[in-house]
Amino acid sequence: GNSVTQMEGPVTLSEEAFLTINCTYTATGYPSLFWYVQYPGEGLQLLLKATKADDKGSNKGFEATYRKETTSFHLEKGSVQVSDSAVYFCALNQAGTALIFGKGTTLSVSS
Amino acid sequence: EPEVTQTPSHQVTQMGQEVILRCVPISNHLYFYWYRQILGQKVEFLVSFYNNEISEKSEIFDDQFSVERPDGSNFTLKIRSTKLEDSAMYFCASGNRENQPQHFGDGTRLSIL
């Protein structure tokens, strides 16, 4: 079945550091890929998405590229801020079916 | 920007009692979902709903769970006889087309005593 694997956290960085959170997936066919973010005490917010191979999703300085050859969708940001501290979830779905989430990676950024 | 809203934000219930979690999806959305997140664990799919019927459900969604769209705006999740292990954050989500992102509410924290 379909699954998502993301790197274990927590990830602890200083402000302005470079961020990478790895995500790989297993799926039949061509899933859509997403990154969701959960700030403390809040719900899940869509951060970015990509619906086909080689698409790059981007939002708020975050980027992720849909790599079919490596079945990956790694999240990157060139310079993190304290306000980026949150839990980040990689997810996939196919044709409107249920989202399948990774376990989440906690990011903590200090000033 | 339109939002998915969920009520209550926190529900405390005695084991064995029935609980109803409420959601108001984004108004032009047609696909509705419930997920749950046990503390410290991953977000898990429960059920999806389209065209007034369940379109998909997970193993978690057993006979004690039910969903309903009673009036064209609300989307509810009922747990008939709650168990301690039902304690979790429950998220409602909605989407307007099959391949579009799902938008989530802020969740209802359900605590079973």
pLDDT tens digits, one per residue of A30-43: 899 999 999 988 88
Substitution target in B39, B42, B98 with the highest count of A β-carbons within 10 Å is B42
Q: Does the CB of A49 have a partner CB in chain B at under 8 Å?
A: yes
| Contact of A8 with A104, CB cutoff 8 Å | no
Cα–chain-centroid distance for residue B108?
A: 9
CB-based contacts of B2, cutoff 8 Å, min separation 6: B26, B27, B103
Give the containing element (helix H, strand E) for A37: strand A32-38
Indicate the pLDDT class of residue B99, thresholds 50, 70 and 90: low
AA letter at A12: T
Q: Do B104 and A96 touch (CB under 8 A)?
A: no
CB contact under 8 A, A98 and B97: no
CA distance, residue B65 to nearest chain A CA (Å)? 17
Displacement of CA A30 from its chain's centroid (Å): 17
Between CA B27 and CA A44 the distance in angstroms is 19
Residue of A nearest to B58 (CA): A98
Count CA atoms within 13 Å of residue A99 on its CB side: 33
Residues B21-66: pLDDT tens digits?
999 999 889 899 999 999 888 899 999 999 889 999 999 999 999 9
- pLDDT band of residue B98 (cuts 50, 70, 90) is low
Q: Which of B102, B1, B89, B92 is closest to A40 using CA atoms?
A: B89
Residues A95, B31: C-beta atoms closer than 8 Å: no
**B58–A100 C-beta distance less than 8 A:** no
Say which residue, A105 or B71, is predicted with more confidence.
A105
- Looking at A105-109, B37-41, B95-99, which range is the least confident one? B95-99
Query: Taking the CA atoms of chain B, what radius of gyration do you get in angstroms?
Result: 13
Number of Cβ pairs closer than 8 Å across A and B? 55
CB-based burial of residue A67 (10 Å sphere; 0-12 exposed, 13-18 middle, 19+ buried)? middle
pLDDT digits (tens, 9 = 90+) for B77-88: 999 999 999 999
Give A18 to chain B, closest Cα distance, Å.
25
A102 touches chain B (CB under 8 A): yes
Of B42, B45, B58, the CB nearest to A102: B42
Residues of chain A neighbouring B101 (CB-CB closer than 8 A) = 34, 46, 49
pLDDT of B100 over the 80 cut: no
The two three-digit tokens of residue B106, written as one number: 């802020």
Q: What pLDDT is attached to residue A96?
A: 65
